[in-house]
Amino acid sequence: MTDRGIDIQHPKLRGEWAEMRFMARAAELGLRVSRPWGDMAPYDFAVEHDGHFLRVQVKCTKYKRGRSYKCHVTASGVPYTSDCLDFIAAYVIELDLWYILPAAATHGQAHVLLSPHRARSRYEKYKEAWHLLRWTAATCPWRDECRTHAFSS
């Protein structure tokens, strides 16, 4: 993997590139990905596994803060909530690394600080956590943390 995405200057084009990376990775892992028609949905993809659909918003970052990466998790400056989507797939371009974050885990913040170098970081358990896109409300290991809306199917 190259850092080619870092070279994409326009944020919208970089975001579209990250969405393509997400679709490819999800397909490699046996997930079915659907895209809503138009651009009015508050999420980028619906991911289906065994008849269950989860709403996923894709974000990417190349912005470093020390050894961590700052990722904005907003739509036009308004933080996402678990009412409008289930997960945020945050891609750290430089490291070719995904975080699959339950929307509720962001606690309505405008950005999250992803620290892949720290084993005890707040979002460590979501690093490359693609398996979460296969869970149901009954089997999610973090159901108490993200149960509000993350798995209402």
Would the pLDDT of 4 be above 80? no
Instruction: Quote the CA–CA distance of 102 and 82 in Å, as a whole number.
Output: 8
Instruction: Quote the CA–CA distance of 91 and 15 in Å, as a whole number.
Output: 10
Angle at 55 between CA 49 and CA 59, to 5 degrees: 115
DSSP assignment, residue 17? H
Domain ranges of the chain: 4-146
pTM: predicted TM-score of the whole model, two decimal places: 0.85
Instruction: Quote the CA–CA distance of 112 and 110 in Å, as a whole number.
Output: 7
* pLDDT tens, residue by residue, 132-148: 998 765 656 555 555 44
Q: What is the pLDDT of residue 1?
A: 46
Radius of gyration of the chain (CA): 14
Q: What band does 9 get if pLDDT is binned at 50, 70 and 90?
A: confident
Pairing between β-strand 52-61 and β-strand 87-92 as defined by DSSP bridges: parallel
DSSP assignment, residue 127? B
pLDDT-wise least confident of 13-17, 85-89, 140-144: 140-144
Q: State the architecture of 4-146 in CATH terms.
A: 3-Layer(aba) Sandwich (3.40)
Would the pLDDT of 125 be above 70? yes
Instruction: Quote the CA–CA distance of 115 and 68 in Å, as a whole number.
Output: 4
* pLDDT tens, residue by residue, 48-72: 988 889 999 999 999 999 999 999 9
